[in-house]
Structure 1
Amino acid sequence: MKTINNASVLVLILLLSLFNCASGPKLQKAIPSEFKDAYFQKWNAGIKEGGSGIKIFIELNDASIQLDSIYFRESVTKLFVYPNNKNLYVGKYRSNVTRSKIPFNLSNNDCVVSYIYKEETLYFKISNLTEKTPLNYPISHPNN
């Protein structure tokens, strides 16, 4: 009987891990709650140091699931519940943030939302997000 050497075991483990990574997170075909609204809006600060970016808004019809993160334009960010509406989630991206590799192939107006349902993290793609009119904050002076 032949013995398996350490190098063979290492190669086998490496190959198995590569196949697992390549599959990535699986997208769900449906989610347990419907989206009431989903859109993004660019924003610009009134001062140079304030920067610019994009906010994504996702509103659910009910609170049966908890949204966690959003993958959009080669970046990922946490979603936060809007203070006055427990069904509205907001994700914020700053323009000067370094982009990272995400496990999804998305067009410019698509996003993937990770959500928690029955203590499991799942993923759902939202296609063709609507872009709202940019929000340009006015310049304000410290004395005003």
Structure 2
Amino acid sequence: MKWFSYIFFSLIFTLSSCSSQKTFVKEAPFTTGDVTCQYWAGGRAESGSGTKLKIPVGQLDKEGVTFAQAFFRGKVADLKMVKNSDEMYAEANFSNKMDKPDIVMHADPKKEVGNKPPKLQKENPFELSENECVISYTENGELKYLKIDNVKELKPKMYQ
């Protein structure tokens, strides 16, 4: 009987963890226009490259909405609000910067104390196709996710 109760409770705990999956909202308190992405590359090797995701945001119904992150092509970036003339945009910059920190390699491990471990990149928890993105936002303190289809890719921008 004890084994049955152990198995029963372990099964309950295992299945209850499935409810923590992220779900998408059907209707957001704002509208989005044509979402675009544009690959960019700097003129020098050290300036890096990346992709800029631009989400036009209109008719924000509620004041308690703040944008948090964007998930796109396996990467995660913070969203920031930008105002151009009369339009509001939520922008995310997915940078491919190749910063290699200086590390000390020495036979004496005491001289390697100042080395910092590499920062791990945040993982994308969503299965998305190439032209889909997910944005996260908080509405009255509750974190919500909105999936956006048909992200249009613009011509790459090459800086000199």
Q: Shift of the alpha carbon at 1:62? A: 3.0
Matched, 1:130 2:152: yes
Task: Rate the CA distance shift 1:119–1:93 in 2: closer, same or farther, 3 A.
Answer: same
1:77-116 to structure 2, matched below 5 A, reads 77-82=77-82, 87-95=88-96, 101-116=123-138
Q: Report how many aligned residue pairs link the two structures.
A: 135
Q: Residue 156 of structure 2 aligns to a residue in which SS?
A: strand
Match in the other structure for 2:38? 41
Q: Residue 52 of structure 2 aligns to a residue in which SS?
A: strand
Q: Shift of the alpha carbon at 1:120? A: 1.2
Say which is worse superposed, 32-41 or 45-54, in terms of deviation: 32-41
Whole-angstrom distance in 2 between the partners of 1:10 and 1:52 = 50
Q: Shift of the alpha carbon at 1:12? A: 4.4
Give the % identical residues.
Answer: 28
Unpaired stretches in structure 1, ≥5 consecutive residues = 139-144
Whole-angstrom distance in 2 between the partners of 1:76 and 1:101 = 7
- Aligned-residue CA RMSD (Å): 2.9
Task: Rate the CA distance shift 1:29–1:83 in 2: closer, same or farther, 3 A.
Answer: closer
Whole-angstrom distance in 1 between the partners of 2:74 and 2:19 = 21
Whole-angstrom distance in 1 between the partners of 2:69 and 2:145 = 9
Whole-angstrom distance in 2 between the partners of 1:83 and 1:59 = 10
Q: Shift of the alpha carbon at 1:102? A: 2.4
TM-score by length of 2: 0.69
Which is greater in Rg?
Answer: 2
Q: Shift of the alpha carbon at 1:117? A: 1.6
Say which is worse superposed, 51-60 or 98-107, in terms of deviation: 98-107
TM-score by length of 1: 0.76
Contact 1:74 1:100 in 2 (8 A): no
Unpaired stretches in structure 2, ≥5 consecutive residues = 99-119
Q: Quick check: which one's strand share is greater?
A: 1
Task: Rate the CA distance shift 1:119–1:46 in 2: closer, same or farther, 3 A.
Answer: same
What whole-Å deviation, never above 9, does each CA across 1:89-121 have from its counterpart, x for those lacking one?
Answer: 110112358765422221001001111222211
Q: Which amino acid aligns with 1:43?
A: W
Q: Which amino acid aligns with 1:70?
A: A
